[in-house]
């Protein structure tokens, strides 16, 4: 029998955790034949809630679940992990300024980066879902000097999936007919979902739509502000869809993106497409065997250039802010 893949989830007692853990335990990441051991990290006050969630996981009798470890010490929970899904983060509380938010999350992702550096498995991959995801990933990688920067990514797959879904609805195509979607930049309202390089049933998506007004006034804001629309409608933030995207992203990273297609991942920039080297920004990437490669040579028109630059400027500001706080 194969030894289990150790998957850490932080913020495991939270909303996303409540969906993500059951999907992971069910084998949605690597298939039902690959046993998984869950390593669940929470803060002390949430451990009782987490205990209840683990009782429910037990009650599912998942055949592929090899074990569950819980705790509040990242050095213990991350011990030997092959994949770390960093979901837990400090939400913006009332009266909290952006600097306070970066600082609170800085403390979390500094400590977790250091712990991963010390105790994770040699092949560890780290996906950051907790917001501000791109900058949290930058903080974590900066505090893990022995882990290659390429092993870190932040989640823009939810935005990618949202963009595919909106474009499918607009064109009447199936989601599976849409290829080569790209989210550029930050996982925030400045993100840029690019349909100029996407295709619908093999036809260029921007040409298939043929409606710049829809692109600017409907598509981009709908994708970029979807999180707020879900809070409005549901009374709480997107959780099941965020969990689903977290799994999509990790699965494709570990097992490879589809032939003839690519995915969006926020990864450390090598300077491609004029994105400053060293910041964690979303790019079109192909993946294979746990490695990602930025898709090079795509056409970036003036409209796209302006949108990418605006989102990258926001990321550069966040980078400078956490640098100013001594977090990186
Ligand atoms: P939640 O508030 O329900 O759960 C977060 C959990 O993290 C809580 O249980 C909390 O106790 C835990 N936590 C806080 N600090 C921790 C630490 N130092 N170590 C371990 N656990 C810790 O939030 P929810 O809805 O599950 O969302 C989690 C994060 O994901 C938020 O930052 C949210 O903004 C972000 N998110 C990101 C998306 C993306 O596409 N990148 C989409 C949706 C949410």
Which three-class secondary structure state does DSSP give residue 85? strand
Q: Give the residue ranges of the annotated binding site for substrate.
A: 92, 98, 131, 162
155 pocket-lining for ligand 1 (C-beta < 6 Å)? yes
13 pocket-lining for ligand 1 (C-beta < 6 Å)? yes
Active site members: 187
154: left (phi over 0), alpha (psi -120 to 50) or beta: beta
Assigned domain for 324 exists:
no
Residue 75 shares a structural domain with residue 185: no
Residue 281 shares a structural domain with residue 165: yes
Element at 30 (helix H, strand E): none
Structural domain total, the chain: 2
**Which ligand 1 atom is the nearest neighbour of the CA of 49?**
9
Residue 258 shares a structural domain with residue 141: no
- Domain limits at 73? 5-154
Partner residues linked to 183 by β-bridges: 193
The total of other beta-carbon atoms located within 10 Å of residue 203's CB is 14
Residue 142 shares a structural domain with residue 162: no
Per residue of the chain (328 residues), give pLDDT as tens.
578 999 999 999 999 999 999 999 999 999 999 999 999 999 999 999 999 999 999 999 999 999 999 999 999 999 999 999 999 998 887 888 878 888 999 999 999 999 999 999 999 999 999 999 999 999 999 999 999 999 999 999 999 999 999 999 999 999 999 999 999 999 999 999 999 999 999 999 999 999 999 999 999 999 999 999 999 999 999 999 999 999 999 999 999 999 999 999 999 999 999 999 999 999 999 999 999 999 999 999 999 999 999 999 999 999 999 999 999 9
Residue 182 shares a structural domain with residue 312: yes
What are the strands, taking DSSP E only, across the chain? 5-10, 36-41, 65-71, 83-86, 125-128, 152-154, 178-179, 182-184, 192-194, 199-200, 203-204, 263-268, 280-288, 291-294
- Structure tokens belonging to residue 80: 């030997």
Nearest CA to ligand 1 atom 34: 131
Give the helix ranges, DSSP H, for 120-259.
133-142, 157-171, 205-209, 212-214, 220-224, 226-234, 240-255
158 pocket-lining for ligand 1 (C-beta < 6 Å)? yes
Assigned domain for 326 exists:
no
**Which ligand 1 atom is the nearest neighbour of the CA of 187?**
41
Kindly give, in sequence order, each residue whose CB lies less than 8 Å from that of residue 246, ignoring residues fewer than 6 positions away: 16, 20, 85, 87, 127, 129, 155, 157, 158
- Structure tokens belonging to residue 232: 């409005």
CA of 107 to the centre of ligand 1 (A): 14
Nearest CA to ligand 1 atom 39: 129
| Cβ 29 vs Cβ 7: under 8 Å | yes
CA of 239 to the centre of ligand 1 (A): 10
- Structure tokens belonging to residue 17: 């955790």
Boundary-marking domain end, from 130, 154, 178: 154
108 pocket-lining for ligand 1 (C-beta < 6 Å)? yes
> Cα-flanking dihedrals φ and ψ of residue 39, to 5°?
-120, 105
Residue 55 shares a structural domain with residue 125: yes
Q: Give the residue ranges of the annotated binding site for NAD(+).
A: 11-17, 105, 112, 129-131
Residue 231 shares a structural domain with residue 265: yes
Here the CATH number for the domain that contains residue 149 is 3.40.50.720
Pairwise CA distance, residues 83 & 249, whole Å: 12
Residue 149 shares a structural domain with residue 164: no
Which is nearest to 180 in space by CA: 298, 86, 12? Answer: 298
Residue 177 shares a structural domain with residue 147: no
Assigned domain for 323 exists:
no
Boundary-marking domain end, from 106, 135, 154: 154
Residue 84 shares a structural domain with residue 161: no
* Probe residue for ligand 1, chosen from 53, 73, 87 as the CB with the greatest number of ligand atoms within 8 Å: 87
Pairwise CA distance, residues 97 & 71, whole Å: 30
Instruction: Specify the pLDDT at position 44.
Output: 98
Residue 101 shares a structural domain with residue 208: no
Q: What is the ipTM of this complex?
A: 0.99
Assigned domain for 327 exists:
no
Instruction: Specify the pLDDT at position 1.
Output: 56
Here the CATH number for the domain that contains residue 231 is 3.90.110.10
Residue 172 shares a structural domain with residue 137: no
Assigned domain for 124 exists:
yes
129 pocket-lining for ligand 1 (C-beta < 6 Å)? yes
Boundary-marking domain end, from 154, 182, 206: 154
Kindly give, in sequence order, each residue whose CB lies less than 8 Å from that of residue 50, ignoring residues fewer than 6 positions away: 12, 13, 40, 42, 70
């Amino acid at each position: 029998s194969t030894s289990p893949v150790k998957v850490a989830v932080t913020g495991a007692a939270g909303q996303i955790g409540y969906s993500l853990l059951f999907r992971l335990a069910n084998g949605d990441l690597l298939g039902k034949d690959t046993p998984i051991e869950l390593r669940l990290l929470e803060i002390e006050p949430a451990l009782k809630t987490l205990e209840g969630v683990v009782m429910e996981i037990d009650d599912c009798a998942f055949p592929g679940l090899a074990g569950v470890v819980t705790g509040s010490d990242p050095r213990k929970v991350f011990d030997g992990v092959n994949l770390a899904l960093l979901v837990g983060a400090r939400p913006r509380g009332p009266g909290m300024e952006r600097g306070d938010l970066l600082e609170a999350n800085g403390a979390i992702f500094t400590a977790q980066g250091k712990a991963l550096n010390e105790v994770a498995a040699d092949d560890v991959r780290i996906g950051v879902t907790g917001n501000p995801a791109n900058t949290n990933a930058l903080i974590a990688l900066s505090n893990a000097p022995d882990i290659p920067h390429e092993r870190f990514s932040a989640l823009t797959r939810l935005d990618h999936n949202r963009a595919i879904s909106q474009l499918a609805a607009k064109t009447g195509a199936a989601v599976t007919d849409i290829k080569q979607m790209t989210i550029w930049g930050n996982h925030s309202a400045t993100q840029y979902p690019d349909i100029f390089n996407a295709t619908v049933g093999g036809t260029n998506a921007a040409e298939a739509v043929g409606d710049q007004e829809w692109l600017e006034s409907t598509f981009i804001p709908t994708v970029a502000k979807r999180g707020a629309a879900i809070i409005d409608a549901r009374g709480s933030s997107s959780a099941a869809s965020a969990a689903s995207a977290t799994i999509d992203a990790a699965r494709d990273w570990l097992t490879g993106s589809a032939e003839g297609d690519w995915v969006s991942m926020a990864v450390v920039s090598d300077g491609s497409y004029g994105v400053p080297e060293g910041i964690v920004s979303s790019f079109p990437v192909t993946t294979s065997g746990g490695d990602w490669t930025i898709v090079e040579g795509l056409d970036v028109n003036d409209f796209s250039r302006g949108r990418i630059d605006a989102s990258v400027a926001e990321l550069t500001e966040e980078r400078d802010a956490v640098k100013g706080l001594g977090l990186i």
